[in-house]
Amino acid sequence: MAAANPDSARPQNTRAIMTFLREHAPFSSMDDTHLAHFAEHATLRFYADGDEVISPDDGVIKRFYVVKQGRIRGERHNAKDDRTDTTFEISLGECFPLAALIGERPTRTLHRAAGDTFCLSIEQDAFITLFSASDPFRDFCLRGVSSLLDQVNQRIQSSAMASIGSSNSLDTPLERYALRNPIVCSPDLPVEKAVARMHENSVGSIIVTDDNRHPTGIFTLRDLRTLIAEHKAPLDAPIRQVMTQDPICLPAHADAFEAAMLMAEHHFAHLCVVDDEHCLIGVVSERDLFSLQRVDLVNLARTIGTATHLRTLVSLRADVSRLVDAMLAHGADSGQVVKIITTLNDVTVRRVLELNIKKNDPGIPFTWLTFGSEGRQEQTLLTDQDNGILFETPEGMTEDQVREKLLPFAQTVNQELAECGFTLCKGNIMASNPKLCLSDNEWDDWFIRFIDASTPQNLVYSSIFLDMRAVFGPTKPLEELLDKVLSRIRKNALFQKMLAGNAFQRKPPLTMFRNFRYVTDGNKQALDLKRQGLAPFVESVRVFALANGVGTANTLERMDELAKKGVFDPKDANAWKEGYSLIQAIRMRSHQELLNRGEELTNLIDPDDLNPLDRRILRESFRQAQRLQQKLELTYQL
Amino acid sequence: MLEQIKHWLDRRRGGRGGHLDLENLPNAKTPGDQLLSDCRLIVLDLETTGLNAAKDEVIAIGAVAISGGAIQLSDQFDLILRRPELDITETVLIHGIGNEALTQGHETEDALLYLLEWMNGDPVLAFHSAFDQKFLEKTLRSQLGYTTSHTWMDVADLLPVFFPKAKPGGKGLDHWSDFFGLEASARHNAAADALVTAELTLVALNRAKKHDVKTLRQLHDKLHYHRRLQNMHRF
């Protein structure tokens, strides 16, 4: 028995330490012989709460530590303010002090136990042995946490791959394919009216239903061809005379494969999808089933951009979600994906505007503005509308007269965007709000008041109105407006400080000594990835961007610009971009998972649902947000 | 462990014609001015067939060494003794040591000699050490005729001495482990229990240092005093 299983020949305590190590990166990717080498050469030390573990005075670092229980806090003395800053926290399964050990120098940070803490450690010679023998270990030591990021990205890719695979293999439930709210009519409707309705909605079939929404028949373009060619009935005959009776129905939980088999068997191109009460939910066409096989960005954008009906735009939203899956599967990073989502959203918004202008032109040129996350080009699948209108008042008209024409138009657009899945803004930050449908002069006045009277309410709005972009119409009026706003903010130190103070309120969800600080979501513990995770980055970066005349609204691009201008240290900027992108990636993966399960999208996650690696990455990312806020605190003396 | 013992036996027997003697074993150390931060301490735990030292036997010995104020995992002892003649069915359920595992063990004499050599006469700590001391001394006496007494200290006493206000909810190893958030990697496993006991010892030694208890003698005296105090309260 012992010979067959080398692990059982090892002492119990060696095996126990190997088991502990295996739960944590980078050890989780290391070979057993290397883990055994670690365990057999390890010492276990205890540090009571507040004890020094290593200090800059200890000289060149000769030991590699792993936290087995408890936590370690990094402390640096801030000479300027004569106080001690906590620079980092190291918790269960994490290693220290890598940089000093690799650099063969003393640590620059005092490492102190936060709570009673046990650490495993190995001496330099065992460390060197492992460093040269184990690739994952070496990689981790040299690249630190960023080597773990690759692992996370690989996993995001593989889970997205799995979801693509399932839609290709036709075992996806029909309800994901079905066109919602199919075109229906009553049995007594004349054929010509039914055909007109099909034409209006550019669909190839109409379902005939009774009063209880049970499908009783189907009429398709093919039926129309037969009707006319064979003079079966006059065009004003009621549709029940010419429809195909008792259309084939499948329940929503049937899969695409069943549907495809039925269609092939009966040579039908359409199927009704019904619920348990046999009430109509949707229609699936042969084309729907097979168009799933390939979704590509250009084609999708073109389809959206040339759609002639709102309902087409609505149905294309499902393709956007599938495209996101595909992008994640092919290794696109979260920054690229949110930009693509925003691009497709922009195309949709533009198309909705174009279709409405075609139908009902208000006759006045305008620029359609978007604010907030859409303004920053950081939209995910969960998104609501934040928009407004900027117009130049034509000669001979007052601003209120222009609004009279534009507001009803904007009202329709807002409603139609809501149908496309852009939730109506609860705070009424929408173009149909008279306060946000303004001329260039009015906007300018509005911003002067906004910046001069920095009321708490205004500061809340700063996250919306200071991230803006033109989506439709001439861009020059917005550029001129932005120039004025930026130079006003640059000159107004008080406003900057208030913005900074506001951004500083939004603390990353880490407590001083515990792991995550949760928000309450019913009786579950949860982290809000958007409000608690991304917002601290977005808000802090905005302050620096506005104060330094950076015009772009995108958070990652703002950080690049700030690094170029020397406001951010390039290394810091990179770490912050990485942290921000990872939270975004975990958020998007969670959205895709919710979508696949047909659940409502939320930004809340339960960290217990994450694996240890993700939890650690998340914590590291939050820590980066804390560092960014510390810079804010220092710069603005908060 | 197996390889280690074989290796050691070969070395010891080499040149002595395979004869093992008790003469050359390390002397037992007495508590003196050795600094706690320097000296080596043995933390030991035994698994036995039962609680009665007169009739029950030792099944397994697990021990770790503390030196330089840290548990050295390169310096540990983890062995299941070969006692096939014993009827152990009653306690098998508790310890998880079946006959199969036992026969993988070693000749008791060899193992015990190796243990004495490894212990190096250093002070021994255990949780409720009277129990382990009784069993180990009995076994050493009956198997090897070894009668030298070692310095023993009870970790169950050590903890209340340095944490007088702690209310661990009981006096057992599990109570104190829970109190400090420790967990044995396996239930009723001598080596795993020895490691937890050693971890508790580190916690106590950390506190001892802050109370200016620096030498082995000071620690031993403090324990002795605590014992006497306890006994006085009893009357």
The ipTM is 0.87
Q: Which residue ranges form the domains of chain A, and what is each CATH number?
A: 6-143 (2.60.120.10), 174-291 (3.10.580.10), 297-491 (3.30.460.10), 497-635 (1.20.120)
Q: Are B196 and B182 in contact (CB under 8 A)?
A: yes
On the question of pLDDT at A95 being above 80, the answer is yes
Q: Which residue ranges form the domains of chain B, and what is each CATH number?
A: 2-15+36-154+169-234 (3.30.420.10)
**What CA–CA distance (Å, rounded) separates B217 from B222?**
8
pLDDT tens digits, B120-155: 999 999 999 999 999 999 999 988 889 999 999 999
| CB contact (8 A) between residue A14 and residue B73 | yes
B186 part of contact set with chain A, CB < 8 Å? yes
Interface test with B, best of A8, A17, A46 (most B CBs within 10 A): A46
Chain B, 94-133: which have a CB under 8 Å from a chain A CB?
Answer: 100, 104
As a whole number, the mean pLDDT across chain A is 82
Asked whether the bond before A136 is cis by omega within 30 degrees of 0, the reply is no
pLDDT tens digits, A269-314: 788 999 888 899 888 877 666 554 444 555 677 778 888 888 888 8
**What CA–CA distance (Å, rounded) separates A463 from A481?**
17
Distances (CA, A) of B75 to A41, A215, B156: 9, 79, 23
| CB contact (8 A) between residue B185 and residue A16 | yes
Distances (CA, A) of B169 to A238, A297, B107, B175, B179: 85, 64, 41, 6, 8
A62 part of contact set with chain B, CB < 8 Å? no
* Residue, of A623 and A58, whose pLDDT is higher: A58
On the question of pLDDT at A414 being above 90, the answer is yes
Closest among A262, A281, A50, A106 to A182, alpha carbons compared: A281
B37 part of contact set with chain A, CB < 8 Å? no
pLDDT category of residue B162 using cuts at 50, 70 and 90: very high
Q: How many residues does chain A have?
A: 638
| CB contact (8 A) between residue A41 and residue B73 | yes
On the question of pLDDT at A632 being above 50, the answer is yes
| CB contact (8 A) between residue B199 and residue A44 | yes
| CB contact (8 A) between residue B182 and residue A69 | yes
pLDDT tens digits, A138-178: 878 776 655 555 555 555 555 544 444 433 444 566 766 66
Query: Nearest CB to B73: which of A2, A43, A118?
Result: A43
- Phi first, then psi, for residue A323 (nearest 5°) are -65, -40
**What CA–CA distance (Å, rounded) separates A548 from A544?**
6
Residue A158, number of CB atoms within 10 A of its CB: 11
Closest among A584, A608, A597 to A153, alpha carbons compared: A584
| CB contact (8 A) between residue B69 and residue A41 | no
Residues in CB range of A256: below 8 A, 6 or more apart: A170, A171, A172, A173, A174, A177, A289, A292
- Mean pLDDT, residues A188-197 taken together: 93
* Residue, of A399 and A170, whose pLDDT is higher: A399
Query: Nearest CB to B71: which of A1, A2, A44?
Result: A44
* Burial of B151 (C-beta count, 10 Å sphere; 0-12/13-18/19+): middle
B88 part of contact set with chain A, CB < 8 Å? no
pLDDT tens digits, B177-230: 999 988 888 877 899 999 999 999 999 999 999 999 999 999 999 998 888 888
Secondary structure (H, E, C), chain B = CHHHHHHHHHHHHCCCCCCCCCCCCCCCCCCCCCECCCCCEEEEEEEECCCCCCCCCEEEEEEEEEECCEEEEEEEEEEEECCCCCCCHHHHHHHCCCHHHHHCCECHHHHHHHHHHHHCCCCEEECCHHHHHHHHHHHHHHHHCCCCCCCEEEHHHHHHHHCCCCCCCCCCHHHHHHHCCCCCCCCCCHHHHHHHHHHHHHHHHHHHHHCCCCEHHHHHHHHHHHHHHHHHHHC
| CB contact (8 A) between residue A12 and residue B78 | yes
Could you list the beta-strand ranges (E) of A358-502.
366-371, 387-391, 437-439, 468-472
- Residue A343, token pair as written in the block: 């691009």
- Residue A177, token pair as written in the block: 């394919």
